[in-house]
């Protein structure tokens, strides 16, 4: 579903991501772990077509994001690590805007908005301008907008930040549901316990370079993910 081949991205002289290769298959929740500034967000933004990169290639469902970015973007959804949204729009207008952009038919968009807004208990607030939302509410809105076009691949950067325990639980269920339906999830997190319980495969990145990747069992063996991570980080 998502294939990263020898990805290299530089900011001036600094190499943020160095020859990174990962393969996220259909039906898989893939965790992406690393210290602050390791290159996680750069990798994720490159996968979503937000950042242009110098070396390597990224394929979404077999399509190169360099060659046909629009076709790739139609298949994926991106949840960023911040909740910067159009504050001047009411929540419902933002969701409808996203639905228009992804050409979601009327009945489907109405059904999905109802389903997810009810689930995340945001329905009553959809008429309010986004500027009045709390951080958690904005995060929920971003998640709903990401799910509105039924994406095959969801790429998430720290998706649980700002969410209450209930919403976190529902999001985990949704992630599993997407994978069960043949989709895939690629997400970064600092919460290693969540990654350990949720992910089928995991990759650890340090200073832009892949340190280790594989199934959760292969990576952690008999240790905890936290123990492995700290060991690899040289603590």
Partner 1 sequence: MLKALIRTRLNALYSSFFYNSRFKKDRNKAFKIVVALFALYVIVSFLFMFGGFFYNICRPMADSGFAWLYFSIAAIMAVALCFVGSVFLTKAQLYDAQDNDLLMSMPIPPGYILLSRIIVLLVLNYIFEMSVLVPAGIVYCANYTPTATGIIVFIVELLILPLIPLTLSCIFGWLLAVISEKVRNKSFITTVMSLVFLGLYLYFFSRINYFLQALIQNIHSIGSKIQSLAFPVYHFGLAISGKNMLSLILFLSGAIIPFAIVYALLAHNFIKIATTKKGLTRKKYKEQPLKVGSVKLALLKKELRRFASSPMYILNASLGAVFTLAFAVAMIIYRGIPDFIVEDFPQIVEYANPLIITMLCFLTSTNFISAPSISLEGKNLWILQSFPVDGGDVLLAKAKMHMVVCLPPVFLASLSCIFTIKLSFAQILLTLLLPALVTVFCALFGVVINLHFPKFDWVNETVVVKQSMSSGIAMLASMAVIAVPAILYVSLFTQKISTDLYMFICAIILIALCLWMYRYLKTKGSAIFAFLGQ
Q: Does 230 bind partner 1 (CB under 8 A)?
A: no
Q: Does 102 bind partner 1 (CB under 8 A)?
A: yes
Q: Does 86 bind partner 1 (CB under 8 A)?
A: yes
- Judged by CB under 8 A, which stretch of 17-25, 32-40, 108-116, 192-200 contacts partner 1? 108-116
Let me know: does 211 contact 204? Beta carbons within 8 Å: yes
State in angstroms the smallest separation of the CB of 157 from partner 1: 10
State in angstroms the smallest separation of the CB of 119 from partner 1: 15
Let me know: does 145 contact 86? Beta carbons within 8 Å: no
**Taking the mean position of all CA atoms in its chain, how far away is CA 81?**
9
Q: Does 63 bind partner 1 (CB under 8 A)?
A: no
Assign 34 to helix, strand or coil.
strand
Can you tell me which of 28, 33, 85, 154 binds partner 1, judged by CB under 8 A?
85
State in angstroms the smallest separation of the CB of 118 from partner 1: 10
Number of Cβ within 10 Å of residue 115's Cβ equals: 12
Please, which residue, 114 or 223, has the CB nearer to partner 1? Answer: 114
Question: DSSP character for 16?
Answer: E
Q: Does 134 bind partner 1 (CB under 8 A)?
A: no
Show the site string, 9-48: x = touches partner 1 by CB under 8 A, - = not. Answer: ------------------------------------x--x
Please, which residue, 62 or 70, has the CB nearer to partner 1? Answer: 70
Q: Does 106 bind partner 1 (CB under 8 A)?
A: yes
167 Cβ contact list (under 8 Å, min separation 6): 120, 121, 136, 139, 140
Let me know: does 139 contact 163? Beta carbons within 8 Å: yes
Assign 182 to helix, strand or coil.
coil
Number of Cβ within 10 Å of residue 163's Cβ equals: 18
- Judged by CB under 8 A, which stretch of 13-21, 97-105, 160-168, 219-227 contacts partner 1? 97-105
Measured at the CA of 159, the angle between CA 77 and CA 26, to 5 degrees, comes to: 50
Please, which residue, 127 or 230, has the CB nearer to partner 1? Answer: 127
Token pair of 165 as six digits: 């325990």
Question: DSSP character for 2?
Answer: E
- Residues engaged in binding partner 1 (CB under 8 A): 45, 48-52, 69-74, 78, 80, 82, 84-86, 88-89, 91-93, 96-103, 105-106, 109-110, 113-114, 123-128, 132
């Amino acid at each position: 579903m998502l294939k990263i081949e020898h990805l290299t991205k530089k900011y001036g002289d600094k190499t943020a991501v160095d020859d990174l290769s990962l393969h996220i298959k259909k039906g898989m929740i893939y965790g992406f772990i690393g210290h602050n500034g390791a290159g996680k967000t750069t990798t994720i933004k490159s996968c979503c077509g937000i950042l242009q990169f110098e070396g390597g290639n990224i394929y979404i469902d077999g399509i190169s994001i360099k060659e046909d970015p629009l076709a790739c973007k139609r298949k994926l959804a991106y949840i960023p690590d911040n909740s910067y949204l159009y504050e001047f729009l009411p929540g419902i207008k933002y969701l409808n805007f996203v639905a228009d952009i992804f050409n979601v038919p009327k009945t489907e968009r109405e059904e999905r908005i109802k389903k997810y807004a009810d689930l995340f208990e945001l329905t009553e607030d959809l008429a309010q301008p986004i500027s009045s939302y709390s951080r958690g509410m904005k995060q929920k809105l971003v998640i709903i907008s990401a799910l509105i076009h039924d994406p095959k691949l969801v790429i998430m950067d720290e998706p649980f930040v700002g969410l209450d325990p209930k919403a976190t639980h529902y999001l985990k269920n949704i992630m599993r549901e997407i994978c069960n339906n043949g989709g895939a999830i690629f997400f970064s997190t600092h919460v290693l316990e969540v990654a350990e319980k949720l992910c089928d495969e995991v990759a650890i990145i340090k200073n832009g370079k892949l340190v280790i990747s594989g199934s959760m069992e292969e990576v952690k063996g008999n240790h905890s993910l936290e123990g492995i991570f700290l060991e690899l980080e040289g603590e």
